[in-house]
Amino acid sequence: MQIGKIVGCVWATEKNPGLTAQRLLIVQPLAPELNDTGRQLICTDSTGAGAGELVYWCKGKEASFPFLPTQVPTDATVVAIVDKITVRRGQQNEC
């Protein structure tokens, strides 16, 4: 999983039937220190995340798992809303 920030959404009137009723969000990938890293991407949403929220997102085959038994044609999905991030460089993390 990777950290990202919701920066927008996509509205599509014509799409693959498997995406019917699925929210599509624009996600900016972030480093642990919350700086932008990489290009923005479109993710389906399994959490109800909104604009400006920090999220975890996953990619690959696992991106469709939150929607099972429905088969959603996606390669990136928001799977969690982040409440808090603590970064301790050079110390043992106690998570």
Q: What is the pTM of this model?
A: 0.85
Residue 92 in any domain: the answer is no
CA distances in angstroms from 27 to 17, 46, 64, 93, listed in the order given: 23, 14, 17, 27
Residue 89 in any domain: the answer is no
Tell me how many domains the chain contains.
1
Residue 40 in any domain: the answer is yes
Bridge partners (DSSP) listed for residue 41: 27
Does residue 27 surpass a pLDDT of 80? yes
- Domain range for 8: 2-81
Does residue 64 surpass a pLDDT of 70? yes
Alpha-carbon distance of 89 to 60, in angstroms, equals 29
* Cβ contact 7:27 at 8 Å: yes
- What percentage of residues in the chain have a pLDDT greater than 90? 73
Structure token digits, residue 43 = 């993710």
pLDDT (0 to 100) of residue 91: 65
Question: Residue 74's domain is classified under what CATH number?
Answer: 2.40.50.220
User: Averaged over 81-94, what is the pLDDT?
Assistant: 78
Task: Determine the 3-state secondary structure of 61 from DSSP.
Answer: helix
